[in-house]
């Protein structure tokens, strides 16, 4: 089979920029060189799209490419657009807003370029925790108690907002931006006194804030892969090294967070998690791949947390680790994800 060109899109304007860069580096080094020609296209924190040459140079820690003025917006970046147009498929690895939220997927749809991962609608729902939880609740899927407060509601009526939190959720609770990932902007609030700082942290990233009850139980994750007939991996468990699984706990080199594969739950509960992961994936309309996160209480009750449509692909990320433990190697997983992107594109083209 002739080699195909894959554009790896990474970086971006969100608070998860650094994670995206690490994910891209990991993916590019693992893609089968006998099957794929890799074309890196970086997006700076200011939204400039870089040529493949500048994108490659940006990986050099001694070259400050991502924060500079090099590059231009997507509409004026001729070198990046020519490179993208020359590729057979794109692999978006831009975490967070302007990448994982359906905007980049919509751009690729308009451009007629096949791409890996979820489509526009599933990506948009997956990024907005408020919409996602409402969809799961409507579908009869158990989620933690939650409340949505807009920034202007909180600004105008702080006391009423706090009263609503205390009556509906209680403490401890989690305060998080509705749109975001990698636990950026999330605070564990223990009392009313913690709420102002928690809202300030969340509103730095979004105008819509989700307040969610703190669930006591194990944090487990399941990787899902497929289009019309998705499959679930083994279930893994996160054992945070602090009060909750925050950004540093996920990515810091000093983190002592434990990963247990398989999860320390009963086989029956693990199977329930796997079945529910596939159901949530389908309810959202996901295709390609996604990671589905849960809480499991001590009595075995499974509570849906969220679906991550572009999970981390770093060397320590749970998504590829779960598939490796399930018998699918990292390079083969990446090839399968790209093949699923081609399959979806060809299916839609036949309409």
Domains of the chain and any CATH numbers: 4-115 (3.40.50.20), 126-141+216-349 (3.30.470.20), 146-213 (3.30.1490.20)
CB atoms within 10 A of CB 276: 20
Nearest to 5 by CA among 246, 292, 232, 338: 338
Nearest to 339 by CA among 224, 263, 260, 227: 227
Tell me if the bond preceding 262 is cis, omega within 30° of 0. Answer: yes
- H or E element that contains 283: helix 267-283
Model confidence band, residue 62 (pLDDT cutoffs 50, 70, 90): very low
Q: Could you tell me whether strands 4-11 and 36-43 are parallel, antiparallel, or unpaired per DSSP bridges?
A: parallel
Most confident of the ranges 159-168, 177-186, 224-233: 224-233
Pick the range with the lowest mean pLDDT from 137-146, 178-187, 260-269, 273-282.
Answer: 178-187
Strand order in the sheet with 302-308: 258-260, 231-239, 218-226, 288-296, 302-308
- Main-chain phi, psi angles of 228, to 5 degrees: -70, -30
| pTM of the full structure | 0.90
Confidence check: pLDDT of 23 > 70? yes
Q: How far apart are the first and last CA of the chain?
A: 27
């Amino acid at each position: 089979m002739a080699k195909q060109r894959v554009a790896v899109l990474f970086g971006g304007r969100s608070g998860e920029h650094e994670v995206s860069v690490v994910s891209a580096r990991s993916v590019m080094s693992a893609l089968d060189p006998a099957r794929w020609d890799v074309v890196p296209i970086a997006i700076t924190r200011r939204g400039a799209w870089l040529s493949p040459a500048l994108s490659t140079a940006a990986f050099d820690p001694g070259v400050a490419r991502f924060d500079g003025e090099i590059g231009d917006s997507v509409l004026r970046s001729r070198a990046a657009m020519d490179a993208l147009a020359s590729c057979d498929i794109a692999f978006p690895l831009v975490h967070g807003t302007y990448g994982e939220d359906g905007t980049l997927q919509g751009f690729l749809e308009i451009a007629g370029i096949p791409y890996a991962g979820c489509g526009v609608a599933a990506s948009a729902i997956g990024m907005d925790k408020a919409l996602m939880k409402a969809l799961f609740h409507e579908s009869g899927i158990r989620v933690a108690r939650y409340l949505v407060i807009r920034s202007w509601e909180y600004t105008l009526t702080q006391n009423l907002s706090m009263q609503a939190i205390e009556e509906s959720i209680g403490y401890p609770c989690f305060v998080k931006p509705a749109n975001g990932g990698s636990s950026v902007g999330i605070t564990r609030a223990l009392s009313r006194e913690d709420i102002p700082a928690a809202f300030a942290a969340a509103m730095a990233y979004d105008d819509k804030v989700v307040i969610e009850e703190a669930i006591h139980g194990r944090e487990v994750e399941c990787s899902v892969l497929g289009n019309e007939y998705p499959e679930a991996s083994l279930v893994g468990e996160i054992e945070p090294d602090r009060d909750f699984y925050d950004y540093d706990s996920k990515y810091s080199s000093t983190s002592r967070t434990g990963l247990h594969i398989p999860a320390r739950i009963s086989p029956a509960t693990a199977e329930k998690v796997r079945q529910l992961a596939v159901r949530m994936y389908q309810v959202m309309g996901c295709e390609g791949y996604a990671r589905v996160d849960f809480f499991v209480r001590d009595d075995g009750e499974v509570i849906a947390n969220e679906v991550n449509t572009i999970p981390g692909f770093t060397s320590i990320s749970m998504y590829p680790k779960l598939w490796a433990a399930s018998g699918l190697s990292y390079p083969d997983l990446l090839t399968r994800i790209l093949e699923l992107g081609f399959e979806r594109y060809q299916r839609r083209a036949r309409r």
